């Protein structure tokens, strides 16, 4: 029997181990795994078996070391095979969804989201106004100067049109830039331009002003705009609608106060205050639609009249939820936001 050199035997073993490692790592399914097992660990013609035969050809002194080396490599290849089997099994579980479910394990709790308190407020306001007969309508947030100012009797030289008080949008070659609407009163005009009276509409949406953020101001906020055009409408109707709205929205008999004010598009005009903890908080503006506005949309002011109001949604939400600073609505702090839940409304 020819003697086999120990170094060559060990080198053979090492090559086998390395090739087995690659083949098992490459196996991606049970079939690939089985093929690699047959090649390396097969009882009849496996490569380990073949190398084992070489043991007998080692010189007598080399046999103990050769035997140890052989056993170590065999164990290592078996361990690699086990590892690869576990990997293939877990991959096929994940991809085929054949995982055995242990129904006795505790489940992972499902996290429920909450509707943002401003969205809750918008939905609730719409639903109360719908009960009062006001149809919800929408308007664009990017407006032209006609709808944001001119049709509302806000002339060119009016301070409300100052570039420092508005977000104008530069449009190439346009002598009249568009702007992010600064009030929802734009929607009154858009609806009146398209429809004939009688009208009862409510519009809720975002408006933008470069105001410094503080406890009652934010540069992006929401308004709720109401418009009612019907023969015989008076300020008494306006106040009773606002009072019904405030009592439904805030609960209880909420006192509403009118303070004389000025808006170019209403005559007379008032500031609307609501009582909160013994204090009066300004919620918005209102008044009888100015005849010049009715004219600008093609209505005859001798035949039709009506009222309009615009309230700050963040302010009424703050009042309802007892929030002292409207900036908290937009800090995105989940611990703050998850406190608010209008049952049945959100």
| Closest separation in Å from C-beta 209 to ligand FA5 | 5
- Residue 300 CB-half CA count within 13 A: 3
Residue that the structure tokens 């509403």 belong to: 256
Pick between residue 70 and residue 265 the one whose CB is nearest to ligand FA5. Answer: 265
Structure-token pair, residue 216: 């009652």
Q: Are 275 and 170 in contact (CB under 8 A)?
A: no
x-or-dash pattern for ligand FA5, window 125-164, by CB under 6 A?
----------------------------------------
Which of 13, 288, 308, 337 touches ligand FA5 by CB under 6 A? 308
In this chain, which residue has its C-beta nearest to ligand FA5?
A: 312
Which of 19, 275, 282, 342 touches ligand FA5 by CB under 6 A? 282
x-or-dash pattern for ligand FA5, window 174-213, by CB under 6 A?
---------x-x-----------------------x-x--
| Closest separation in Å from C-beta 104 to ligand FA5 | 53
Closest by CA to 6, choosing from 52, 58, 42, is: 58
Distance CA 193, CA 28 (A): 68
Kindly state whether residue 123 participates in binding ligand FA5, applying the rule CB under 6 A: no
Judged by CB under 6 A, how many residues of this single chain contact ligand FA5? 24
Instruction: Tell whether the torsion through CA atoms of 168, 225, 267 and 191 is positive or negative.
Output: positive
Give the DSSP H or E segment for 287.
strand 279-289
Q: Provide DSSP, 5-49.
A: -HHHHHHHHHHHHHHHHHHHHH--SHHHHHHHHHHHH-TTT-HHH
| Closest separation in Å from C-beta 175 to ligand FA5 | 26
Single out the segment in contact with ligand FA5 by CB under 6 A; choices: 73-81, 167-175, 285-293, 332-340: 285-293
- Which residues within the stretch 315-344 sit at the binding site for ligand FA5 (CB under 6 A)? 315
Binding residues for ligand FA5 (CB under 6 A): 183, 185, 209, 211, 217-218, 221, 223, 225, 263, 266, 282-287, 308-312, 314-315
């Amino acid at each position: 029997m020819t003697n086999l050199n120990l170094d060559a035997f060990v080198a053979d073993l090492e090559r086998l181990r390395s090739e087995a490692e690659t083949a098992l790592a490459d196996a991606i399914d049970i079939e690939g795994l089985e093929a690699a097992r047959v090649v390396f660990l097969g009882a009849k013609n496996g490569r380990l078996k073949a190398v084992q035969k070489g043991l007998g050809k080692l010189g007598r002194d080399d046999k103990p070391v050769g035997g140890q080396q052989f056993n170590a490599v065999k164990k290592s290849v078996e361990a690699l095979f086990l590892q690869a089997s576990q990997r293939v099994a877990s991959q096929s579980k994940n991809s085929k969804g054949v995982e055995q479910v242990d129904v006795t394990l505790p489940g992972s709790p499902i996290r429920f989201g909450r509707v943002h308190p401003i969205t809750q407020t918008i939905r609730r306001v719409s639903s109360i106004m719908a009960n009062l007969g006001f149809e919800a309508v929408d308007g664009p947030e990017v407006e032209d100067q006609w709808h944001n100012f001119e049709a509302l009797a806000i002339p060119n030289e009016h301070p409300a049109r100052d570039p420092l008080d508005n977000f104008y949008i530069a449009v190439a070659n346009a002598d009249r830039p568009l702007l992010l609407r600064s009030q929802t009163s734009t929607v009154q005009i858009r609806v009146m331009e398209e429809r004939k009276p009688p009208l009862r509409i409510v519009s809720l949406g975002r408006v933008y002003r470069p105001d410094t953020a503080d406890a009652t101001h934010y540069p992006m906020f929401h308004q709720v705009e109401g418009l009612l055009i019907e023969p015989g409408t008076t300020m008494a109707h306006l106040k009773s609608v606002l009072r019904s709205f405030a009592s439904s929205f805030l609960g209880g008999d909420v006192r509403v106060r009118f303070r004389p004010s000025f808006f170019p598009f209403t005559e007379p005009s008032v500031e609307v205050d609501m009582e909160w903890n013994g204090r009066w908080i300004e919620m918005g503006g209102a008044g009888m639609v100015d005849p010049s506005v009715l004219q600008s949309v093609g209505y005859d002011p001798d035949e039709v009249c009506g009222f309009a109001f615009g309230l700050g949604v963040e302010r009424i939400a703050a009042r309802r939820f007892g929030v002292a600073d409207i900036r908290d609505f937009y800090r995105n702090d989940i611990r703050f936001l998850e406190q608010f839940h209008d049952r049945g409304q959100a």
